[in-house]
Amino acid sequence: MQTIPTLSTAAPSPPVSGTLLAKDYVMNLATLAYVWGWPLVNMHNRRVVFSKITESGLGDGVLPVAPLNHLTMLTDYIKPEERAVATPNQDTVYGFGILALDQEAAIFQIPDFDNRFWVYQLGDQRTDAIAGLGSVYGTKPGFYMVVGPSWAGAVPDGVTSVFRSPTDLAYIIPRAFMDDTQEDRAAIQPVVSQIVAYPVSEFDGKMKTMDWSKILTFADPAGGKSGSGGETKWVRPEAFFEELPAILKEVPPQSGEESLYALFRSLLDTATDDPNVKSAMRQAALAAENGILKELHQYRYAGVPVQNGWTSPVNGAHFGTDYYSRTAAARANIFVNPRNEAAYFGQEYDSGKQRLSGENAYTVTFPAHQTPPVNGFWSLTLYDADHFFAPNELNRFSLGTKNKTLQSNPDGSLTIYVQHAPPVADKRTNWLPAPKGEFELFLRAYGPKDDILNNVWSASPVLRAN
């Protein structure tokens, strides 16, 4: 009796080496590689910069930077001059660190935040979340450890929990809510002083503290200058395909990506012997940077359309194989939190579908009891066309939970006035100053409740004033 053959589980054959590649094929595959790899190269180059840091400090007096496997905390809101990460917030005290888990596993401390909303973003080189840590998870104070994909050591006594990163490069971004009062600025400092990270070899079971107000200030390690213009250029298209081979080695393929990696490697291999292929790849990278990557800078591509013209990402930090959304997020506002931690809504147009501009005045009105339903906090932030804070006379860049002087209307609704010129005196507490030119609005809801997560609640329209 004949037996029925089983299907082979062997990996399919890769592209044939030495094949003559048509230029259009090279250009299209190189464009795909550029979009796919842009966030990974971005993170790779951030690690290169941080590898040069020998002591925690503030780059250009603004950016928290630290040696690999450490972090640096701010003690106040991020300064408006910051240009290393687009779409920053001014609701939390930030920290940042790059972890090199191929060198050593890392320990990070979580202090007792009491009733203060907080979240630690722990992500990998793909900008996907490794773990959930924060108020929304009920995470306990203690010592936590993160290890690389091949780590096989012993966990020290006293470590509360261990997380494994799928990539050797990881990053950690603590965020702790702080309201806009001097009292809370003082109250948060003892907590912030206990937010520390270090290599596991330095772990002794004792909570370390750091006075982050006394750290050094030095030149921007990325070689830039804070204060104006767009984000630090972490990806250089002319060098992209020189860096991609390292990315393919340091970031293991996810399940199902093996064939994609083989395609990219076939392109790189051919380029080593064919200057025309290499030239076409470089052309494709430059075209993609000035084409699709420029287009993806707009918030409307970093998520899905929701009510009243807003766009909201639904798979932030859980991108998987959604390379388009991963790169759109990395281009517009890298280091987004997972949606259950923070829901975001981006807007570049008013309700009449006209571009937001300081030439006009706008209102955003939340009906009574209809501000964003959150367990944490909410804010409405205004950014310039580069996704950074726009200088203004009040030094005010967002309004929301942190502000204790917002005035509600007689019917209980809350109106925020978005305009360049100051409104009449009784409305100035609710004024969100706009620049003269084009700008964007960004609504954050940290610790979003189910009505947001289930798309029941809707962000208010942006109305142009008559």
- The token pair at 347 is 């807007």
Q: How many residues does the chain have?
A: 466
In CATH terms, is domain 53-218 a member of 2.10.109.10?
Answer: no
Residue 71 has pLDDT above 80, yes or no: yes
Q: Is 219 a residue whose pLDDT tops 90?
A: no
Q: How far apart are CA 266 and CA 269, in angstroms?
A: 5
- Residues linked to residue 342 through DSSP beta bridges, in sequence order: 446
Three-state DSSP at 239 gives helix
Give the pLDDT score at 226. Answer: 67
Higher confidence at residue 223 or residue 6?
6
Tokens of 32: 């795909």
Amino acid in position 439: F
The two tokens of residue 436 are: 């003269």
Structure tokens that stand for 228 in this block? 């104006």
Q: Amino acid identity of 349?
A: Y
Binning pLDDT at 50, 70 and 90, where does residue 2 land? confident
Q: What is the DSSP letter of 371?
A: S
H-helix segments, 176-257:
182-192, 240-250
* Identity of the residue numbered 6: T
Please give the Cα distance from 406 to 418 (Å, whole number).
14
Break the chain down into helix, strand, coil percent, rounded to 5. Answer: 25, 25, 50
- 320 - beta bridge partners? none
- Residue-wise pLDDT for 413-451, tens only, equals 999 999 999 999 899 999 999 999 999 999 999 999 999
Q: Which tokens in the block code for residue 152?
A: 């096989």
Q: Where does residue 464 rank: exposed (0-12), middle (13-18), buried (19+ CB within 10 A)? A: middle
What Å distances lie between residue 235 and 45, 242, 450, CA to CA?
A: 7, 12, 37
Question: HSE (CB half, 13 Å, CA atoms) of 419?
Answer: 20
Q: In whole angstroms, what is the distance from residue 60 CA to residue 320 CA?
A: 35
Query: Which residue type, as a one-letter code, is found at position 249?
Result: K
- Render pLDDT for 313-357 as a digit per residue (tens, 0 to 9): 999 999 999 999 999 999 999 999 999 999 999 999 999 999 999
pLDDT at 199: 98
What whole-number distance in Å separates Cα of residue 3 and Cα of residue 129? 47
Say what the alpha-carbon torsion angle 40, 44, 50, 52 is, to the nearest 10 degrees. Answer: -170
Whether 37 has a pLDDT exceeding 70, the answer reads: yes
Every domain of the chain and the residues it spans? 23-39+234-293, 53-218, 299-464
Rounded Cα–Cα distance for residues 274 and 22 (Å): 12
Q: pLDDT tens digits, residue range 53-67? A: 999 999 988 999 999
Looking at residue 227, what DSSP letter applies?
T
- Residue 218: per-residue pLDDT: 87
From CA 337, how far away is CA 344, in angstroms rounded? 9
Q: Is the dihedral of CA 190, 191, 195, 201 positive or negative?
A: positive
Helices H, strands E: what count in the chain?
8, 22
For residue 69, the model assigns a pLDDT of 98
223 pLDDT higher than 80: no
| Residue 12 pLDDT level (bands cut at 50, 70, 90) | confident
The answer to whether residue 309 scores a pLDDT higher than 80 is: yes
Q: Which residue do the tokens 């007792």 mark? A: 112
Other CB atoms closer than 10 Å to residue 12's CB: what's the count?
8
Q: Report yes or no on whether pTM surpasses 0.85.
A: yes
| Closest to 448 in 3D by CA, of 304, 298, 316 | 316
Q: Name the band, by pLDDT with cuts 50, 70 and 90, for residue 221.
A: confident
Q: E strand or H helix at 180, and its extent?
A: none
Angle, CA of 350, 353 and 354, to the nearest 5° = 75
Contact 96, 49 (CB under 8 A): no
The residues facing 164 across adjacent strands are: 147
**What token pair was written down for 110?**
């979580």
Average pLDDT score, the chain: 96
Least confident interval from 1-10, 78-87, 250-259, 397-406: 1-10
Q: Is pLDDT of 220 > 90? A: no
Consecutive H or E run containing 380: strand 374-384
Tokens representing 214?
A: 């006394």
Please report the sign of the dihedral spanned by the C-alpha atoms of residue 24, residue 26, residue 27, residue 28.
positive
Which CATH superfamily includes the segment(s) 299-464? Domain of unknown function DUF1214, C-terminal domain (2.60.120.600)
